[in-house]
């Protein structure tokens, strides 16, 4: 399926745009979202990139962790989630909030019982856990009745390294949480005995339930990414060797993860301009790289987007870019 066909194929409810940092992922994903909205399709665009750019793209404050209606256009909402908040919640998800009354004394007592690994385990949560927890929360949101009316949901993802880490995280996290669950069972039993000795009542501990729900959310994320009917993953790149090589690694990893990619968007392509020596030299160098891209990604649909002489910021610019991407 070409990226132009994507506009009419409403089965692709979820669209993820990924690639190297600085290639214009936010501009590309925002432009696609604008085009869907213009086509009468209620659309939500979500940024999972810790360094959010959606607010800049739409020239509107979106850093509220809730969908915000985009001004001056129908059918379009945007949201910048805060992975750092979700990461900060990890200990509380495990029932080990540092602010919990008496936690220091309990941890000290547990240490004497042979549970020293608990603190280290939680303090060294795996890289990407914050993004994973945040994305899992988003999945829970979009599965709710409140978000059911969105026909399209676009993910403006973090740079390639974060994306690859997130893609491989569910399997790793399953093992990590499995270990944590076992430790938590020991802790729950020890805490219950400790409180009993002090004559304290033991409150119901729902940590295991919370962590199991998190594991299930990770499974949903993985299945969402792999669903060939409902999900489209678009790789964004620019015609430089570094970006091309990184895009190749991303494409290879997506294939390993059984996530299908049909489209490569090559952004910032310099048009030929014989009146500008710098432009002419750069266009010549890019042409060689574009030929390399076409050879390297011969099994993909490649869409070129020219280098604009204006910053892609605000609705007018996004509409212009959307026309280049998806047509009139």
pLDDT in tens, 34-52: 999 999 999 999 987 767 7
Are 32 and 57 part of one and the same domain? yes
Are 303 and 198 part of one and the same domain? no
Are 148 and 205 part of one and the same domain? no
If pLDDT is split at 50, 70 and 90, which confidence band does 208 have? low
C-alpha atoms less than 13 angstroms from C-alpha of 215 in its C-beta half-sphere = 18
Is residue 18 within a helix (H) or strand (E), and if so which, with residue range?
strand 14-19
Tokens read off for 322? 């959307």
Give the per-residue pLDDT at 301: 95
Closest to 319 measured CA to CA, from 13, 4, 30: 30
Q: Which of 94-98, 112-116, 220-224, 234-238 is the most confident on average?
A: 234-238
Across 239-274, b (16+ Cβ under 10 Å) vs e yields: bbeebbebbeebbeebeebebebbbbbbbbbbeeee
Active-site amino acid positions: 49
Closest to 308 measured CA to CA, from 295, 297, 322: 322
Domain range enclosing 31: 5-82+134-167+225-326
Answer yes or no: is pLDDT of 91 > 90: no
pLDDT in tens, 156-207: 987 776 667 666 666 666 666 666 666 666 666 666 666 666 565 655 555 5
If pLDDT is split at 50, 70 and 90, which confidence band does 220 have? confident
We report the CATH number of the domain holding residue 256 as 3.40.50.300
Answer yes or no: is pLDDT of 232 > 60: yes
Answer yes or no: is pLDDT of 294 > 90: yes
Last residue of a domain, one of 190, 214, 238: 214
Domain membership flag for residue 220 = no
Which is more confident, 316 or 220? 316
Domain membership flag for residue 219 = no
pTM for the predicted model, two decimal places: 0.80
């Amino acid at each position: 399926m070409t990226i132009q066909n994507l506009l009419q194929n409403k089965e692709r409810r979820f669209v993820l745009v990924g690639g190297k940092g600085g290639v214009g992922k936010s501009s590309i994903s925002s432009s696609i979202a604008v085009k869907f909205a213009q086509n009468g399709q209620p659309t939500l665009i979500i940024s999972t990139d810790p360094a959010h750019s959606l607010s800049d793209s739409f020239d509107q404050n979106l850093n509220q962790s809730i969908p915000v209606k985009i001004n001056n256009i129908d059918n379009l909402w945007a949201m910048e989630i805060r992975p750092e908040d979700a990461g900060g919640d990890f200990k509380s998800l495990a029932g080990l909030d540092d602010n919990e009354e008496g936690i220091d004394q309990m941890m000290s007592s547990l240490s004497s019982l042979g549970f020293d690994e608990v603190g280290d385990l939680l303090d060294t949560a795996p890289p990407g856990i914050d993004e994973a927890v945040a994305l899992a929360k988003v999945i829970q949101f979009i599965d709710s009745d409140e978000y059911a009316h969105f026909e399209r949901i676009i993910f403006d993802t973090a740079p390639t390294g974060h994306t690859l880490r997130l893609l491989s995280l569910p399997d790793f996290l399953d093992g990590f949480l499995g270990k944590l669950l076992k430790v938590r069972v020991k802790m729950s039993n020890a805490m219950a005995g400790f409180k009993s000795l002090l004559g304290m009542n033991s409150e119901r501990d729902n940590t295991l339930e919370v962590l199991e729900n998190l594991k299930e959310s990770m499974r949903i994320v993985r299945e969402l990414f792999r669903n060939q009917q409902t999900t489209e993953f678009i790789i964004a790149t620019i015609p430089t060797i570094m970006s091309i090589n990184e895009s190749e690694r991303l494409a290879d990893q997506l294939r390993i993860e059984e996530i299908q990619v049909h489209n490569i968007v090559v952004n910032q392509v310099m048009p030929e301009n014989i009146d500008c020596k710098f432009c002419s030299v750069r266009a010549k160098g890019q042409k060689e790289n574009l030929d390399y891209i076409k050879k390297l990604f011969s099994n993909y649909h490649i869409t070129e987007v020219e280098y604009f002489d204006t910053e892609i910021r605000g609705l007018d610019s996004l509409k212009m870019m959307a026309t280049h991407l998806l047509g009139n």
